[in-house]
Amino acid sequence: MFRYFPLVVKNVLRNRRRSILTVLSIAASLCLLGVLMAMYHAFYFGEATPEQALRLITRNRISLANVMPVSYRDRMKQVPGVRDVGIFQWFGGIYKDNDFKNFFARMAVEPEKLYVLYPEYRIPDDQKEAFRRERSACLVGRPLMERYGWKLGDRVTLAGDIFPVTMEFTIRAVYDAPNDNENFFFNYEYLRESIPEPRRDAVSTFAILADSPDSVPRIAHDIDAMFQNAPAQTKTEPERAFQLSFLSYLGNVKLFLLSICGAITFTLLLVSGNTMAMSVRERVREVGIMKTLGFTPPAVLGIIVSESVFITLIGGVLGLALSEVICAFIRQGPITMVDLDTLSLPPAVILGGAILACFIGAVSSLLPAWSASRRSIVDSLRFSD
């Protein structure tokens, strides 16, 4: 069919307005489809980093809103394969106002444990010591610093919502990390001293560091079995699984994404099929002339299908390029339930999008192309619209 390529291009350009509108409609659909599939790939096929593969999160089996005794930490350390355990208490609170643009993760931690559990956090040694030594100090991710224009030594006030206290912090350290880099950490002891007595010895989550990735499933099982009969039972899971569990609050995200992708694909079939049906109907007599000149039915079929594939492929390439632009925009946004600052179109999604565009072009044009190729020369020349 390559020898007919100039004819295919000429036929695509014969009605430029329709071709451009078709390309744009396919590009818009493939753009949305590409972003959704990139998210699906990131959520359910992305691999944990080597550091993440060693970490587990333990929470109350009922929900994150239920707490566990701090004393669980010492018992967890005794489980074979556990290198260290640290407290990670979600503080919440309000910075300035309740506007979503002022949302960021605010966690009370043990500074010494944080450095061990998260070795990928790059912090200057003097700032590490300042954060560890000063009770009201805080450690902030660099993107968060840049977003609010903070500097070392600035004071930040958080009004509590989960905890009925208003706390003031001084920025003493900044960290850089390849991902998960928009957190606000402060000393757990500072929080513990600020809240009423009944809540001082209860926390929401523990972070656990394993000695190897192979030990992670066994450690999770052993910890949960240890507290199986305790008043506050636990649920222990790898860090990445814990992060993705927040998506379940939105419902069945996997089914939601796949349903939208299916609806987009079906719509693309209708749009492309309607375009090719109109194009073939306008050229019935031309098809008769082509057959008179010696074009065989398979050649006519191939030319018409190639036109459709060519249009959808252009739209697909344009749509996937726009998807990458949107992914880049999403990467600049704040981290909410899951870390999307590495969101991009993986090669598998790009290849799948291109194949889908070709498939849609071929399937949507197959019926009108087959009908045109099977029509006799006499019927084609007699046809009038």
Q: What residue ranges do the domains of the chain occupy? A: 2-47+251-382, 62-232
Confidence label for 385 from pLDDT (cuts 50, 70 and 90): low
> What is the Cα–Cα distance from 35 to 349, expressed in whole angstroms?
9
Structure confidence at residue 384 (pLDDT): 61
- Residue 143 confidence (pLDDT) above 80: yes
Q: Are 169 and 156 in contact (CB under 8 A)?
A: yes
> What is the Cα–Cα distance from 96 to 116, expressed in whole angstroms?
32
Q: How much is the mean pLDDT over the chain? A: 85
Which residues 6+ apart lie within 8 Å of 105 measured at CB? 90, 182, 183, 184, 335
- Residue 1 confidence (pLDDT) above 60: no
Terminal-to-terminal C-alpha distance of the chain: 29
Confidence label for 250 from pLDDT (cuts 50, 70 and 90): low
- Residue 204 confidence (pLDDT) above 80: yes
Share of the chain above pLDDT 90, in %: 38
Structure confidence at residue 236 (pLDDT): 95
Angle at 89 between CA 88 and CA 91, to 5 degrees: 140
- Residue 79 confidence (pLDDT) above 90: yes
The closest alpha carbon to 191, from 111, 102, 84, 73, belongs to 111
Q: Are 190 and 160 in contact (CB under 8 A)?
A: no
Structure confidence at residue 48 (pLDDT): 74
Structure confidence at residue 215 (pLDDT): 94
Q: What is the mean pLDDT of residues 210-236?
A: 94
Q: Render pLDDT for 91-102 as a digit per residue (tens, 0 to 9).
A: 988 888 877 778
Q: What is the mean pLDDT of residues 140-147?
A: 91
Q: Please state the three-class secondary structure of 257-293 as a single string.
A: HHHHHHHHHHHHHHHHHHHHHHHHHHCHHHHHHHHHC
